[in-house]
């Protein structure tokens, strides 16, 4: 693995291999839920593991919830970055197949709503963002989210409610601009 060349100590190299074997499928699922295609998800997981290799000091033990959260968060960020890059590319591209042969005028609307909503989600405090992504991207039930994050189900419901308020406030501010 090329990642191992980025890591200094033998202990961290062994830890990285264990992380890779244990969490790569979870990370792929997280990226797949955000991006919706295999190639993009693989790229996101690759980018996430690059970041993990550079930041091995952030990982104390392999089998902790904190490590799992860290890996899921890094993967989400990598997937969202790829999603944004794609969105920008798609706005610039006009496919020849999509152009009409008749004389009707071509209308091109550029919507930034998706990017703004992603920005709002990305800028939410991490405790709300994680709950939202697990709830609405991974489609987990509140009870399952509580198990993954190690918090009570009531806390999950409260964070969803408070997160919705924060999102609504951010959307209201966008309308004012």
Distance of CA 81 to the CA centre of its chain: 8
CATH code for the structural domain at 112-177: 1.10.10.10
Q: What was the pLDDT predicted at 58?
A: 78
Q: What was the pLDDT predicted at 124?
A: 87
Confidence (pTM)? 0.51
Top-level class of domain 9-91 = mainly alpha
> How many C-beta atoms surround the C-beta of residue 146 within 10 A?
19
Among candidate residues 102, 96, 93, 164, the one with its CA nearest the CA of residue 129: 164
Written as tens digits, the pLDDT of the chain (177 aa) is 565 666 777 888 888 889 889 999 999 999 999 888 899 999 999 999 888 888 887 788 888 888 898 899 999 989 998 888 887 666 555 444 444 444 445 444 445 556 677 788 888 888 888 888 888 777 788 988 888 788 899 999 999 999 889 988 888 887 776
Q: What was the pLDDT predicted at 87?
A: 74
Q: Which residue ranges make up each domain of the chain?
A: 9-91, 112-177
Separation CA 73–CA 129 (nearest Å): 9
Q: What is the DSSP letter of 136?
A: I
Residue-wise DSSP of 27-60: HHHHHHHHH-SHHHHHHHHHHHHHHHHHTGGG-S
- Dihedral of CA atoms 56, 61, 27, 52 in degrees, nearest 10, equals 0
């Amino acid at each position: 693995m090329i990642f191992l060349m980025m890591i200094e100590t033998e202990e961290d190299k062994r830890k990285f291999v264990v992380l890779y074997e244990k969490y790569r499928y979870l990370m792929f699922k997280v990226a797949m839920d955000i991006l919706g295609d295999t190639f993009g998800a693989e790229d996101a997981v690759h980018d996430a593991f690059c970041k993990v290799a550079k930041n091995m000091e952030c990982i104390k033990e392999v089998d902790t919830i904190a490590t799992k959260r860290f890996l899921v968060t890094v993967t989400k960020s990598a997937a969202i970055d790829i999603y944004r890059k794609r969105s920008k590319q798609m706005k610039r591209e006009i496919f020849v197949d999509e152009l009409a042969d008749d004389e009707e005028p071509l209308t091109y609307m550029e919507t930034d709503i998706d990017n703004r909503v992603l920005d709002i989600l990305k800028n939410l405090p991490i405790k709300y963002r994680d709950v939202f992504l697990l709830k609405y991207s991974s489609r987990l039930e509140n009870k399952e989210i509580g198990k993954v994050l190690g918090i009570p189900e009531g806390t999950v419901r409260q964070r969803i409610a408070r997160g919705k308020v924060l999102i609504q406030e951010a959307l209201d501010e966008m309308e004012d601009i």
